[in-house]
Amino acid sequence: MSCDAENFLYVFDHTVKPVLLYASEIVGMFKPSLDDNLFEKVYKYLPLEKLNLSLCRYILSVNKKTSKLALYGELGRYPIYIDIVSSMLKYWTRLENDKTGDKLLSHALAENLLMIENNQNCWLSSIKNILKKFNMFNSNESELTQLHVSMKNGDIQRIIKSTKSKFESRWFQQLQTSEKLRTYRTFKNIFKFENYLVNICNENDKYNMSRYRTSNHRLQIELGRYTIPKTPVNDRTCKNCSSCEVEDEKHILLDCQKYFTIRQTYIDICYNKNSSKLNTDNKFIWLMSNEHANVCRNISRFLSLSIFYKTDSKATEKLSS
């Protein structure tokens, strides 16, 4: 596979996503609740979201065990429910402003208002719920009356912005407690598309960088999670050197003697006057959060020649056979 991550996402969002979201303005309705995680709970198991996550896995070339938090985080990708909420609000505004006099639609809307009056769940009660959740109702006026007043485009944008911001806050909170992403959270603290996906030209190196960052590797720190019983973190030591250190991402990039020569060639030359004085923990963070193209390329090359070397060899053998 060969693709430019940004362009791939753009093409997907402008060709496939509109098809996936067909009729979502109607079928996206849900039972009223003011739960803070309402949208995530309602739309979590939606096939559309599974496809959204499969797309992220495909672009990053990582496996099914990859944490969803890392998938969203690496690409700065939001769940599809945000598009569903947006299409529902836009459709409601269109119905309220309908000048064509479509009798069927205006009757359906009137029927929905009647159902709300009788405390029955309906499509419009989902809209009412969204407006309530974002404090869009004026407390001096009845909610029913206000449901007749269509929203301005700016209001919809405000709700979408707020939905995205709430998602980012939850993403950040969940990241802090994720066992699998204990290393990831040390260098990833901003929800955004990662520039290494553009800066690294060699496809294989780029995928290895994604795999390394999202713990898609076979280092002891990861393998120990799947032993029975689970190996305590401190016992997941490196079998490639005599350091007795835990074989994790940091050990590989900065310490493991096995990769001393490759490290000299690709990593040690990355440091500048200031970063060379940092301690190991901060050097790791400096390297992994560095967006300079040459630094990203050097790290990814180091990874391709070290922990992913066997995988590369197998792939080469497979291709040449």
- Among residue numbers 161 through 220, which ones bind Zn ion (CB under 5 A)? none
Pick 60 or 238: Cβ nearer Zn ion: 238
Pick 200 or 256: Cβ nearer Zn ion: 256
Among 124, 238, 253, 267, binds Zn ion (CB under 5 A): 238
Contacts of residue 84, defined as CB under 8 A and 6 or more positions apart, other chains included, come to: 21, 24, 25, 28, 43
The verdict on 241 binding Zn ion (CB under 5 A) reads yes
Q: Smallest distance, Å, CB 289 to Zn ion?
A: 23
| Residue 234 identity (one-letter amino acid) | N
Cis peptide, bond prior to residue 229, ω within 30 of zero:
yes
Sign (positive or negative) of CA dihedral 260, 261, 267, 269: positive
Pick 115 or 241: Cβ nearer Zn ion: 241
Pick 93 or 231: Cβ nearer Zn ion: 231
**76: region left, alpha or beta (phi > 0 left; psi from -120 to 50 alpha):** left
Q: Smallest distance, Å, CB 241 to Zn ion?
A: 3
Among 59, 89, 256, 305, binds Zn ion (CB under 5 A): 256
Determine the distance from the C-alpha atom of residue 2 to the mean position of all C-alpha atoms in its chain, rounded to a whole number. Answer: 21
Interaction mask 65-104, Zn ion, x per CB under 5 A:
----------------------------------------
Q: Which residue's structure tokens are 């960088």? A: 209
Stretch that binds Zn ion, among 140-148, 155-163, 255-263, 267-275 (CB under 5 A): 255-263
Stretch that binds Zn ion, among 69-77, 251-259, 271-279, 290-298 (CB under 5 A): 251-259
Determine the distance from the C-alpha atom of residue 26 to the mean position of all C-alpha atoms in its chain, rounded to a whole number. Answer: 26
Stretch that binds Zn ion, among 118-126, 140-148, 250-258, 310-318 (CB under 5 A): 250-258
The verdict on 240 binding Zn ion (CB under 5 A) reads yes
SS3 132: helix
Contact of 84 with 90, CB cutoff 8 Å: no
295 exposure class (CB count in 10 Å sphere: 0-12, 13-18, 19+): buried
Binding site for Zn ion (CB under 5 A): 238, 240-241, 256
